[in-house]
Structure 1
């Protein structure tokens, strides 16, 4: 029987893990620079947490099971709902705004395809209790900051405000459930289905024309004036447009103007209430969206007080794929800085002591453990990418010295044991 990994999952080997860790740590640093603190939630939660948020239909899309106590549980398909649950359990009385970020794996039972897996990773944040559009501007700027630090090219942040479309629909007497159906069609880009539904709902010809025109509109700040003229008779929609305009002004203060106003963003989830945004990267094909987020009211749906929240998540695997395509990942290929090797078997205890001394001084060090001959030791150390090899021989030890070999130049010299740490620290610092 040949053992295989489950369908839709992946193994990551050494070099790929280095690259993933580099990207993860770069994003973590940006989040923490903005004052966000890390949280961690369970990999599985009560199934009701996700059905309450997304409806019973999500059961077909996720991994769910009963434990030995008969409790209905599910592997988390995303991290926004667990964060909202954590807030309700432990942070309702905490001073606001609360800034949290997370990194973890999620699971969905769907057909694996390019850029889509059954186990995948999300790195994102939530800002709970902040004031709009202030918090939205900071979060969008932070997302862009992450991508700039990663030197990711050809990304585009599309942003809009759901209140514009919902304001027009509400004024036409369209119910919340019907609005959700419309938003789902817009999210899928199903223009034909949208036209049919709007006709069935008997919207006024003027409103129908405006809606269909809006969902196809994209531009920059100048788009605001054009839309104002179109929706001047829809006060709620106009108020949301003014919120969007204020957000764009604030984004400029945050030093970010490389956005696209996109009034066709719907996100397809009914708990989003205002600003929404998505980030795309050219070159990823159908899976070009690497992030999405906005302002939502999920906590009230879960039974808490009404508190405005804004958040987003990067599809971490898609970010990695984009960086790989652009060849923008520059991880350190070296596994260790120093390799310590005894020249003979009776020198191995001394070699272990020297290796430990180097490690205690924060020098990444490997040591010979299988008794190879010198030629194979040097070959192995070179394969590890070691900068230096410390050779421990009996004759040198009698003089309290070891041999230090520079693996790049091939030069070697004898140095006192008591100075080997200091010498290596100095030389490694200069590399």
Structure 2
């Protein structure tokens, strides 16, 4: 049988690396005082499609239940965790999760994630702890070559305030900025002043090192709201550099890719191929659906991608014990004599080259012995 589009089988190293990534994540978050949480894989669609969460139902795997309600396979962890912990005591601030999300707008329908959420905490503390946890996790996985990117939803939002765009116009412009389409940005703003148009077009190229922050501090010297955002990003960069992370860039033209983001945003890129290994940001407004005014920030790792970039460990030596139905128990008992080896028991040797050592069972003075061949 063929698999549905977006589904895939896996074998060998990818599975082993993913299991290792999962265990390392559990240990790292446990040591940093995160509390593990799990949510059902089946949720009501409204959890993700309500006005505040704002996710697109079309990208979800969905069906009607017996009561006519739309149910979905979990498409997003952040909204699911927010629903689960909204009524938890505020003393619990740090949460971690692991599991799959299911989306039809991705290369694979199922993707495995590991992530953290920090709620009810000082905003800078939450963002710092997210980034520092990410750094430690990547270090424990021995993924050393990566770049962290910082951005902020407030820059785009502040700059378009004078335009008084309606919802559809704003979404079209946001998408054009997201795709770095200078030509489309100019086309969408054809009826607006050249100054605003050019400011947004230039913002698309406003990425690089901390010197970009310094440049725009001069450009926006008369805009206190934008200066406050730049100062916030600068503080995060300084924190990361103080902990030994030098590969940090900013993208001032980045816009939110999820509707509920409303502040600092961050991503991690693997240097080798530029793939995104983690992403996240601030989402305080998501909790307004639960009538809460609080702080919330988090990030999620793409565990499938991390597994692809982890180093393949040197596997243990492989041994084969050739047995028979009568001597199988003897071979099984001999496993404890080979604690550092991967031990396979066979009745007939099919491929000698896959083993480092081969043992046979011989009878000597009415006793069975396992001997190296």
TM-score by length of 2: 0.84
Q: Which residue of structure 1 lines up, in the alignment, with residue 365 of structure 2?
A: 395
* From 90, 101, 107, the counterpart of 1:106: 101
- Structure 1 stretches of 5 or more lacking a match? 411-431
**How far off its partner does 1:23 sit?**
3.2
Inter-CA distance 134–312: structure 2 relative to 1 (3 Å threshold): same
Tell me how large the CA RMSD over aligned residues is: 3.3
Secondary structure of the 2:9 match is: coil
Aligned mates of 2:259, 2:100 — CA distance in 1: 24
Matched with 1:262 is: 251
How far apart, in 2, do the equivalents of 1:332 and 1:99 lie? 35
Q: Does 1:161 align with 2:161?
A: no
Matched position secondary structure for 1:268? coil
Contact in 1 for aligned 2:119/2:297 (Cα 8 Å): yes
2:164 pairs with 148, 156, 174, which one?
Answer: 174
Is the CA contact (8 Å cut-off) linking 2:54 and 2:259 kept in structure 1? no
Identify the residue that residue 211 of structure 1 maps to in structure 2.
200
Q: Which residue of 1 aligns with 2:313?
A: 331
Larger radius of gyration: 1
* The structure with more helix, counted as a fraction of residues: 1
CA distance in 1, matches of 2:369, 2:363: 7
Q: What is the distance in 2 between the residues matched to 1:273 and 1:246?
A: 18
SS in 1 for 2:263: strand
Change (3 A) 1:139 1:79: same
Alignment of 1:406-421 (within 5 A): none
- Higher relative CO (Cα under 8 Å, sequence separation at least 6) belongs to 2
Deviation sequence 1:232-257 (CA, Å, 0-9, x none): 22121122122112222222333323
Q: Is the 8 A contact 1:139 1:311 kept in 2?
A: yes
Alignment of 1:45-56 (within 5 A): 45-52=43-50, 53=52, 55=54
Tell me if structure 2 keeps the 8 A contact 1:156–1:259: yes
Q: Which residue of 2 aligns with 1:8?
A: 6
Equivalent residue in structure 2 for 1:78, among 76, 79, 82: 76
Match of 2:180 in 1: 189
1:44 is displaced (CA, Å) by: 1.5
Unaligned runs of 5+ in 2: none
Number of residue-to-residue matches in the alignment: 371
Distance 1:284 1:253 in 2: 26
Is residue 236 of structure 2 the alignment partner of residue 247 of structure 1?
A: yes
Deviation of the 1:393 alpha carbon: 4.4
2:293 matches 1:303:
no
2:223 match:
234
Given candidates 109, 115, 124, the residue that maps to 1:118 is: 109
- Normalising by the residue count of structure 1, what TM-score does the alignment of the two structures yield? 0.74
